[in-house]
């Protein structure tokens, strides 16, 4: 079961993927998580990636493809995986196609999540993350604030806005998304496994995805 989740930052890819992960028993692979893991470890790959991510720029493909291939080769991906927000560009989609062929995997669904830009900005700038690297609990100043403002409920560490989630960086990320990722919808739009959904409630969106996959 291999699923690609597409959509702008904040469209709900992470939330929807997390539910699908539980239901299908396959891992969610987000290049953001893999790259942040490398940054945290302080690896050479991570240091390079960090320079791009801090300013909201896209990390170069050779760094990303290396991470994805290594990740898909790990045992927990034997039953498949959910690719969350990857690929982002046509060259990445081509590289992924070649990689899947090489690994003997086929795509079961390409899901595009849609949301208005105002909603995306509101969602992304309201997110706060626990600064403790071994906790990283996620909060939202509107829908899930910590009990004490700015303090993690779980570990008591400061709860902060991530460098890549300030309004300025978010707007830049959305612009990059529009410029580089929209052609992907044409690319995958011709495939029978492609469908587009709006994501207001993640649970309902997951039900729709399962329905559409059965039909296919
Ligand atoms: Zn914490």
Give the Cα separation of 193 and 191 in Å (integer). 5
Kindly give the distance from the C-alpha atom of residue 143 to the centroid of ligand 1, in angstroms, as a whole number: 17
Q: Say yes or no to pLDDT of 215 above 80.
A: no
Please tell me the number of Cα atoms within 13 Å of 170 on its side-chain side. 19
Residue 159 CA to ligand 1 center (angstroms) comes to 7
Closest CA to 178 of 16, 13, 9, 5: 9
CATH architecture of 2-115+180-215: 3-Layer(aba) Sandwich (3.40)
DSSP string, 29-95: EEHHHHHHHHHHHT-HHHHHHHHHHHTTPPPPHHHHHHHHHHHHTSGGGTT-EEEES---SHHHHHH
> Is the pLDDT reported for residue 26 higher than 80?
yes
Task: Provide mean pLDDT across the span 18-35.
Answer: 89
pLDDT of the residue at 169: 92
Q: What is the mean pLDDT of the chain?
A: 89
- Judged against a pLDDT cut of 70, whether residue 107 lies above it is answered with yes
pLDDT of residue 31: 82
CA of 103 to the centre of ligand 1 (A): 38
158 CA from centroid of ligand 1 (Å) = 7
The model carries a pTM of 0.74
Compute, in angstroms, the gap from residue 147 CA to the centroid of ligand 1: 12
Residues designated as active site: 13, 88, 127, 162, 173
Q: Is the pLDDT confidence value at 216 over 70?
A: no
């Amino acid at each position: 079961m291999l699923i690609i989740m597409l959509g702008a930052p904040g469209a709900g890819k992470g939330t929807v993927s997390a539910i699908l992960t539980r239901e299908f028993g396959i891992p969610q692979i987000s290049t953001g998580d893999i790259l942040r893991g490398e940054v945290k470890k302080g690896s050479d790959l991570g240091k390079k990636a960090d320079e791009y991510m801090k300013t909201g720029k896209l990390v170069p493909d050779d760094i990303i493809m290396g991470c994805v291939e290594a990740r898909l080769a790990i045992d927990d991906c034997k039953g498949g995986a959910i690719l969350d927000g990857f690929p982002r560009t046509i060259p990445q989609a081509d590289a992924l196609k070649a990689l899947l062929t090489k690994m003997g995997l086929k795509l079961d669904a390409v899901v595009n999540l849609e949301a208005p830009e105002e909603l995306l900005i509101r969602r992304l700038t309201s997110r706060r993350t626990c600064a403790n690297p071994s906790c990283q609990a996620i909060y939202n100043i509107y829908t899930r604030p910590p009990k004490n403002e700015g303090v993690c409920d779980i570990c008591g560490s400061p709860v902060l806005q991530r460098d890549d989630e300030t309004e300025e960086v978010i707007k830049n990320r959305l612009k990059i998304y529009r410029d580089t990722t929209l052609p992907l919808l044409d690319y995958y739009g011709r495939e029978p496994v492609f469908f587009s959904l709006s994501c207001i409630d993640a649970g309902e969106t997951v039900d729709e995805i399962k329905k559409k996959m059965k039909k296919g």
